[in-house]
Amino acid sequence: MINESVRWVINIFSVLLGLGIVYTTARIIIVFVSPNTDNKITLYFISRDINKNFGFLLKEGYTVTDLKYIPHHYGGWHFQLDSPDKKLSIILDQQERVLLAFGKDKTDKRYQIFLEAMIYYLTKENVFVGVSHYSNTSHRSQRFKNIAKLIKAYIGQIKNYQYDNFEIMKNELSNFQEKYVSLLIQESEKQRS
């Protein structure tokens, strides 16, 4: 009986390994033959992960804009979730921290703040989401899951802040962002020592 069980485990493992090798080989061939097709396949999987993790925002009328994938070490995925009224954008980039952009001019730094800094601000410095929150999440679907969890917990407060007093408080928020970044640097230095 043990030999039969071991044989089944080995057979299942062999089949899975074989499928993995076939899939990897096919993706490598696609990359060389048609890089554009590989990019489309990757964008499909990114879109699937967006729908799975940020579906609660999509149901509220948020739209995915500026979705792209750059197959380079310093590239990766990038997309933006825009609120129905276009006054709030949540910008996600593989190489950057999640950014909230308020108002009409999304490029003006005074109207931008990291999601984590906004949470720290809204909770009156009681919730610090630091470097350690992302340190073990290099896989895209896990990272999306963690980001979505943060957004889901605080999106109501962020929307209320946006409507209530963002224009008045934008300079205060900009200063708070600098304070938050210095705390991130301190946390990183502690982890290294």
pTM: 0.76
Place of tokens 């205060």: 172
Residue range 114-142: mean pLDDT, rounded: 78
Q: Which amino acid is at 28?
A: I
Q: Which residue has the higher pLDDT, 25 or 64?
A: 64
Note the pLDDT tens digit of each residue in 52-76. Answer: 999 999 999 999 988 988 877 666 8
**Residue 5: pLDDT over 90:** no
Total residues found in the chain within this entry: 193
Burial of 124 (0-12, 13-18, 19+ CB in 10 A): exposed
- Flag whether pLDDT at 164 surpasses 60: no
Residue 157: how many CB atoms within 10 A of its CB?
14
